[in-house]
Amino acid sequence: MSAMDVLAALLVPVFFPPLLLGVIARTKALAAGRRGPPLLQPYFDLARLFRKGMVLSRTTSWVFLAGPVVGASTALLASLFVPLGAQGSLVSFPGDLIAFAYLLALGRFFTIAAALDTGSSFEGMGASREAAFSCLAEPAAFFALLVLVKLSGSTSLGAMLGPDLPQHWLHGGPSLALAVVALFIVLLAENSRIPFDDPATHLELTMIHEVMVLDHSGPALALVGFGAALKLFAYGLLLVRLATPFEVGGTVSGVGVALLELLALAALVGLVESVMARLHLLRVPSLLVGAALLGAFGVMLLVG
Amino acid sequence: MTTLLALCGAAAMASSGPIAAAARRVGPRRADRLWVLLFVVGASLAAFAALLALASGGDELRAHAPFPVGEVALGLDALSALFLIAVAGLGAACACYGLAYYPAALHPDSAGRLRTAFGLASAGLAMVLLARHSLVFIAAWETMAVSSYFAVAAEDRDREVREAGFLYLVSTRVSSLCLIALFALHWAASGSLLLVPLGAGQIAPQIQSALFVLALLGFGLKAGLVPLHVWLPPAHSAAPTHVSALLSGVLIKSGIYGLVRITSLLPEPSPWWGEMVLALGVVSAVLGVAYALAQHDLKRLLAYHSVENIGIIAIGLGVALIARASAGLDTAALALAGALLHVVNHALFKGLLFLAAGAVIQRAHTRSLDALGGLGRSMPATALLFLLGAVAIVGLPPLNGFVSELLIYSSLLRMVASEDGASWISAALAAPALALTGGLALACFAKAFGTVFLGAPRHQSVSDGSDAPAAMRAPMVALALGCAFIGLAPFALAPALRNACEAVLGSALAPLAAPWRAISGVALASLALSAAGGAWLWLRLSRRPAPRTVTWDCGYAAPTQRMQYSAASFAQPLVRVFSSALLPREYGSAGVAPFPQRSAFHSEVVDAALDRIVLPSAHAVVRLAARLRVLQQGSVQQYLVYVWIAVIALLAVGGVGR
């Protein structure tokens, strides 16, 4: 990797992710016939929150503040594992996909603990749902990644999504297509998008992620928002690289293409949110199990 | 030399109880201290011997004993040493903890018995690890099993404890029966009572498979593999907490040790052995954690997590057996190293969690999660220690659980990536199951930590407002430091793990193909980045203090502490998903009418394997046995006739056989 690649891999995760949220919001507004907020609105929101003061509940302890901090820092670390374009990722070792998943899990653990620290039944409800749905999403993600492990014969994300990806599509196209669908469902679930969760509503009973962070304010809330954007970025990067295995020469154009694809993915998420309603909560597990089965079929197609 | 040293350690542990009992006149407090001193000296000797064995490769002791024992062998190789370190370390920690948790001054009639049982169980376990001879193994195994029964049933005034103890005793009897059959068959087939590796072709493959099945039954029962786990949750919740820690942390690992030892003696493993262990491991891991999630009792919850972790270890062992059968030695070593490291790790973090739970129980006088809450405020040190244990057991970086789970995952992924036959399919099914287990464990420990330590107390009289005493905190801190050390510097253990794998696989190995530096890099980076973020937020807060107010109550004017999400409500979505396996029972109904009436709701999950399989079949056996009672009339003459008939029958059978 050249110095340019390293620089891109370090700077893009810090500055780019909030734009995805802006694109989603704009897409939803356009689909609903409104003009919508500026594309850079998430940046303005984050800057405003970072400047603001905080209000804390008397019930909470240090765990409440550890939630946003650990959530954002683990998401930042995890995003370094996913290759930005075909150049390979900044951090790569055999089995790094496990580290990727478990870093995000560490962030989730502390986010849930922070929600329970408030002693609010609403936040407890959100925490319970987050724990349930993300744990059902885990097998789906693993089956999808196993398709790639089998095809590439390698266990690091950098090599799995490396320059040989077009060949893998030739050998195991149907399996990879199933994996892409499964990963897209996982992306929607893990990032609390419709049909799993509705980030726009403010009716606490229907929400998952938003209701967990109800008590955070100021810089802590900004960290929560930044962490959520980073998580979307990391999953999205994984998905667009898998779905569009083309080779583009050079760091600048390679990274540029990857980022454009990410923006397109954000628009797609926005479209899904515009045309679908949130699922009944009891149906959510079925959809996640369905995603896991898609991934499992993908693996089964590689037998023989 | 090392074996002799370990033998002395075991002797010191075994004699600590009787000596303290003999010195009763010095008063209960001094007797306690004397016992702990003797026990810790013994444990230190054993641990020192184990460290020497890990560094030098260990040795064997042989002696000649009169008939029927014959040549006796004891030995300490890297495999035994790894287990022995866990036994000695956790044993010493639990013994120190017992000083403040279970003092003889407060438990005059049971403390002495408990000390003796504790020492004998630890010494028996150490002897199991040293034994290289069937009869020595059985004797040590029985010592461990029976004395641990007395430790579990220490508080036998409680009916629940007596029942749990009886179930445990019955399970150990069945387990011993399988092991006696195992060693008898081993003796008949190999002609030797010594437990030494058999040569290829020395025993027929069918006999080897029979030996494997007997070992799986006998040792699986001790380890608590589903569906043989039924004794485990009641015994763990009935025992005094430091005994639960020992039981869960190291005693049940004797089953894992036995399985590893016996399979390492058999030269030609069939591929289905590994598949079977892998399948049992997956079922134990997923069902164990699902049951844990549904528990309302803190100690039962931790006990079911032992089932889960035994499952994770079994997944590693299964992969190792499969890879060994197909000559994939590198993958086998990686999986085995993961499983063995998880044995050590589980001793550390499960010991830590049980001891922290004991501190909570001592302060709050309840094990019920739904009565606890907000203890982080009055017991900040215990809360932090429990949190560390929770992060470790869920397998999250930067602590030790992550290292061993990553090794097991890596072996599964390597199998998927590089193997062609049927084995990669089992690995491809096991890896997502392991991921599901991880997710469920995260939910479960978020629930346990959250409902016990966070939020507001659900009950008025939940704590007297002080943290655990130093004598209880010190062992917990030591265990937590162990978790952190293995998590941050796993490469320090790499040579020891490789030696242990060589002892099992019987051939020289290349260095383990594990990304040690990367693991500690991830751990350090996550720690450093979180610490930096925390420091920044703390600076912000000290410059601009945040006003304190109530938790946002969404406009509802009078929220009470009892309206917090409880352990049962937190777990409900996942319990519903797994309802076909857990069979939850629900009583009462939540008020849904337009004008709600006073209503009550209660849900519980009882162990389906115990409730639907073991107890009904036990009742059936008892009914059948009642019919046999006609044979037993209590007259000696009649019994002599039975003996005579039996002797004639045996002679007849022997004559025909010849």
pLDDT score, position A213: 86
For the residues B462-483, what does the mean pLDDT come to?
Answer: 88
Scanning B503-562 for CB atoms below 8 A from A yields 513, 515, 518-519, 521-522, 525-526, 529-530, 532-534, 537-538, 540-541, 544, 546-554, 559, 561
Chain B residues with beta carbon closer than 8 angstroms to that of A204: 554
- Which tokens is B562 given? 């009892």
Work out the mean pLDDT of chain B and round it to a whole number: 90
pLDDT score, position B143: 95
pLDDT digits (tens, 9 = 90+) for B364-376: 888 988 888 889 9
Confidence of residue A1 (pLDDT cuts 50, 70, 90): low
Range from A18-27, A247-256, B171-180, B435-444 carrying the lowest mean pLDDT: A247-256
CA angle A75, B429, B306 (to 5 degrees): 75
Confidence of residue B580 (pLDDT cuts 50, 70, 90): confident
pLDDT digits (tens, 9 = 90+) for B583-602: 888 887 766 677 777 778 78
pLDDT digits (tens, 9 = 90+) for B425-449: 899 999 999 999 999 999 999 999 9
For the residues B341-359, what does the mean pLDDT come to?
Answer: 96
Cβ partners under 8 Å of residue A241, min gap 6: A82, A83, A85, A86, A161, A165, A258
Indicate whether A149 pLDDT > 70: yes
- Which tokens is B109 given? 């009639």
CB contact under 8 A, A139 and B550: no
For the residues A123-151, what does the mean pLDDT come to?
Answer: 92
Work out the mean pLDDT of chain A and round it to a whole number: 89
CA angle B624, B629, B631 (to 5 degrees): 120
Indicate whether B68 pLDDT > 80: no
Nearest to A119 among B418, B455, B532 (CB): B455
pLDDT digits (tens, 9 = 90+) for B507-560: 888 888 889 999 999 999 999 999 999 999 999 999 999 999 888 877 776 677
Q: How far is A258 from chain B (nearest CA, A)?
A: 25
Indicate whether A148 pLDDT > 70: yes
pLDDT digits (tens, 9 = 90+) for A160-201: 888 888 888 888 889 999 999 999 999 999 988 888 887 776
pLDDT score, position B23: 85
For the residues B69-88, what does the mean pLDDT come to?
Answer: 90
For the residues B339-355, what does the mean pLDDT come to?
Answer: 96
CA distance B344 to B400: 9
CB contact under 8 A, A98 and B410: yes
To test the contact with chain B by mutation, choose from A54, A79, A108, A120 the residue with the greatest count of B C-beta atoms within 10 A, namely: A120
Question: If you write DSSP's letter for every residue of chain A in order, what string do you get?
Answer: --HHHHHHHHHHHHHSHHHHHHHHHHHHHHHTT---S-TTHHHHHHHHHHHS---EETT--HHHHHHHHHHHHHHHHHHTTS-SGGG--SS--TTHHHHHHHHHHHHHHHHHHHHHHTT-HHHHHHHHHHHHHHHHHHHHHHHHHHHHHHHHT--SHHHHTSTTHHHHHHHHHHHHHHHHHHHHHHHHHHTT-TTT--TT---GGG-SHHHHTTT--HHHHHHHHHHHHHHHHHHHHHHHHHH------SHHHHHHHHHHHHHHHHHHHHHHHHH-PPPPGGGHHHHHHHHHHHHHHHHHTT--
Indicate whether B325 pLDDT > 90: no
For the residues B44-55, what does the mean pLDDT come to?
Answer: 93
Confidence of residue B467 (pLDDT cuts 50, 70, 90): confident
pLDDT digits (tens, 9 = 90+) for B613-649: 888 998 999 999 888 888 887 889 999 999 999 999 9
Does A52 touch chain B if contact means CB atoms closer than 8 Å? no
Scanning A96-125 for CB atoms below 8 A from B yields 96-99, 101-103, 105-106, 108-109, 112-113, 116-125
Nearest residue of A to residue B395, measured between CA atoms = A102
pLDDT digits (tens, 9 = 90+) for A9-27: 888 999 999 999 999 999 9
Indicate whether A86 pLDDT > 70: no
Backbone angles phi and psi of A137, in degrees to 5 = -75, -20
CA distance B151 to B239: 7
Nearest residue of A to residue B539, measured between CA atoms = A219
Say what the ipTM of the complex is.
Answer: 0.95
Range from A36-45, B211-220, B567-576 carrying the lowest mean pLDDT: B567-576
- Residue B105 CB-half CA count within 13 A: 8
The kind and range of the H/E element at B120 are helix B111-130
Share of chain A above pLDDT 90, in %: 60
pLDDT digits (tens, 9 = 90+) for A199-243: 776 665 667 888 888 889 999 999 999 999 999 999 999 999 898
